[in-house]
């Protein structure tokens, strides 16, 4: 069974899009299993930039792409994204789970309201209605794509949501929703059955998370997290497939760390060094354009990501960017009340961070080699892919993925 699940090892934006785009040529299926348009997965094709929000980032190369039931779908965004992607590839096989939940304008308003009432405790969400869409899913008053088949059912479901949220529905909104729905209706299917049949038939599949390990609703830096399961466990609930269908797991890690929104960040860099790294790495949110907070690579965090996700392989991105800094530092451990801590724990704010320094490697690849070997030996997981530039072809293969 050739199934690979790809997750983000930090706070999101690790470069998953680029790695998925690269890997997907070797897979029959590419499947997104969580999140919504809060995700922005970038692929740079020549002088054009694709930011995938809902469609799996292997769209250009995988034989079929699937939006599984764990994803929450904003119909207008999906319609626009498909239209945009048509200019790159006109014949494609896209399938969308008919039981995926829909993000409505009521969810957008609720997101804004919830952020407003939090005051200083603001999460810094993308304001794309993601938390509320999962909130209504788990509250059992969500709206699924298949509800759109019956106008009255849709109207009734929206009315319930409107009552619970105490937010009125704008005039003409139902027609607008149905208009968008008509445009994607042909892609709807029982995605779980389709995937199960295909994999049983020997097809290979690449599963793609949105976001990163430490903004996972269960294992992340709660409450500064997103509302879905971003870690490898999320792939089974987000696709409906039983756990035994998932063979190997790869984590994407940026050679440094970034975070958008609030929440703990042990290796955060402030001041001019931080500004320089943000500029060198063009660290601005793919979805909201917000400046990303930046910091050094955090090995305690990666150690936990390896454990939480059961990683078999790592793809390390943006080593080209880090090499341009005057001094490259890596957090190797933390300290808490005088005790050394090897692994990040979202419930513990460390007193001290212990760093090791490396000389930058721009134009000196041997130094890059020792940096990578150091990370590999600390994590005990092979780094099989290296991101060495933003273009889709700027990837170095260091090792093979085996399904044995």
* 34 near Mg ion, rule: CB under 5 A: no
Q: Is 257 in the site for ligand IMO (CB under 6 A)?
A: no
* Candidates 36-44, 106-114, 197-205, 374-382; binding stretch for ligand GDP (CB under 6 A): 36-44
Site for ligand GDP in 313-372 (CB under 6 A): 317-318, 320-321
Q: Which residue has the tokens 């830096």?
A: 221
Q: Is 68 in the site for ligand IMO (CB under 6 A)?
A: no
> Quick one: how far is CA 58 from the chain centroid?
14
Q: Which residue is nearest to ligand GDP (CB)?
A: 387
41 is catalytic: yes
Least gap, CB of 74 to ligand IMO (angstroms) = 12
CA–CA distance, 37 with 53 (Å, rounded to integer): 5
Q: Which does 387 bind (CB under 5 to 8 A by kind): Mg ion, ligand IMO, ligand GDP, none?
A: ligand GDP
Q: Does 24 bind ligand IMO (CB under 6 A)?
A: no
Closest CA to 181 of 104, 85, 93: 104
Q: By CB neighbour count within 10 A (0-12 exposed, 13-18 middle, 19+ buried), where does 402 fall?
A: exposed
13 in contact with Mg ion (CB under 5 A): yes
Number of Cβ within a 10 Å radius of residue 25: 12
Closest contact distance (angstroms) between CB of 392 and ligand GDP is 9
Catalytically annotated residue among 21, 28, 41, 53: 41
DSSP-derived letter for residue 320 is H
Examine residue 211 and tell whether it contacts ligand IMO (CB under 6 A): yes
Nearer to ligand GDP, 12 or 36 (CB): 12
Sheet with 395-397, side-by-side order of all strands: 188-189, 94-97, 64-67, 29-32, 205-208, 3-8, 248-254, 313-317, 383-387, 395-397
* Among the listed residues 40, 58, 234, 266, the single contact to Mg ion using CB under 5 A: 40
Q: Is 13 in the site for ligand IMO (CB under 6 A)?
A: yes
Instruction: Please choose which of ligand IMO, Mg ion, ligand GDP, none residue 144 contacts, taking the beta carbon within 5 to 8 angstroms, the exact cut-off set by kind.
Output: none
Q: Which of 68, 72, 78, 123 binds ligand IMO (CB under 6 A)?
A: 123
In three-state secondary structure terms, 139 is coil
Tell me whether residue 13 is one of the annotated catalytic residues.
yes
State the nearest-atom distance from the C-beta of 225 to ligand IMO, in Å. 6
Angle between helices 151-165 and 173-184 (to 10 degrees): 130
Angstrom distance (rounded) from CA 257 to CA 13: 9
Report CA 304 to chain centroid distance, whole Å: 17
Q: Which spans of this chain sit near ligand IMO (rule: CB under 6 A)?
A: 8, 11-13, 38-41, 123-126, 128, 130-131, 210-212, 215, 226-227, 260-261, 286
């Amino acid at each position: 069974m050739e199934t690979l699940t790809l997750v983000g090892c930090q706070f999101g934006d690790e470069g998953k899009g680029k790695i998925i785009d690269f890997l997907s040529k070797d897979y029959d299926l590419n499947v997104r299993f969580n999140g919504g348009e809060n995700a922005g997965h970038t692929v740079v094709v020549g002088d054009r930039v694709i930011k995938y929000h809902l469609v799996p980032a292997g769209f250009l190369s995988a034989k079929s792409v699937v939006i599984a039931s764990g994803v929450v779908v904003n119909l207008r965004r999906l319609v626009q994204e498909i239209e945009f992607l048509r200019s790159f590839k006109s014949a494609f096989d896209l399938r969308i789970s008919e039981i995926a939940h829909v993000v409505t304008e009521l969810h957008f308003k609720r997101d804004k309201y919830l952020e407003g009432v939090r005051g200083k405790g603001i999460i810094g969400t993308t304001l794309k209605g993601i938390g509320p869409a999962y909130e209504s899913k788990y509250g059992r008053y969500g709206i699924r794509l298949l509800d759109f088949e019956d106008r009255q059912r849709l109207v009734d479901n929206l009315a319930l949501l409107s009552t619970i949220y105490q937010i009125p529905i704008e005039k003409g909104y139902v027609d607008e929703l149905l208009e968008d729905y008509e445009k994607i209706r042909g892609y709807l299917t029982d995605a779980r059955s389709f995937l199960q049949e295909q994999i049983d038939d020997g097809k290979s599949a690449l599963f793609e998370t949105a976001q990163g390990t430490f903004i996972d609703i269960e294992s992340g830096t709660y409450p500064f997290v997103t509302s879905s399961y971003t870690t490898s466990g999320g792939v089974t609930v987000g696709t409906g497939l039983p756990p035994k269908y998932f063979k190997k797991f790869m984590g994407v890690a940026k050679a440094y760390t970034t975070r958008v929104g609030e929440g703990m960040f042990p290796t955060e860099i402030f001041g001019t060094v931080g500004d320089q790294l943000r500029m060198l790495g063009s660290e601005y949110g793919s979805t909201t354009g917000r400046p990303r907070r930046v910091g050094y690579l955090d090995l305690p965090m990666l150690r936990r990501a390896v454990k939480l996700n059961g990683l078999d392989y790592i793809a390390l991105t943006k080593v080209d960017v880090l090499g341009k800094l005057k001094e490259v530092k890596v957090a190797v451990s933390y300290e808490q009340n005088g005790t050394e801590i090897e692994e990040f724990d979202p419930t513990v704010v460390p007193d001290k961070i212990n760093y090791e320094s490396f000389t930058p490697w721009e134009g000196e690849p041997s130094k890059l080699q020792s940096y990578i070997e150091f990370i590999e030996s600390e994590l005990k997981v092979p780094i099989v892919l290296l991101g060495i530039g933003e273009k889709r072809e700027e990837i170095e293969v260091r090792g093979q993925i085996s399904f044995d």
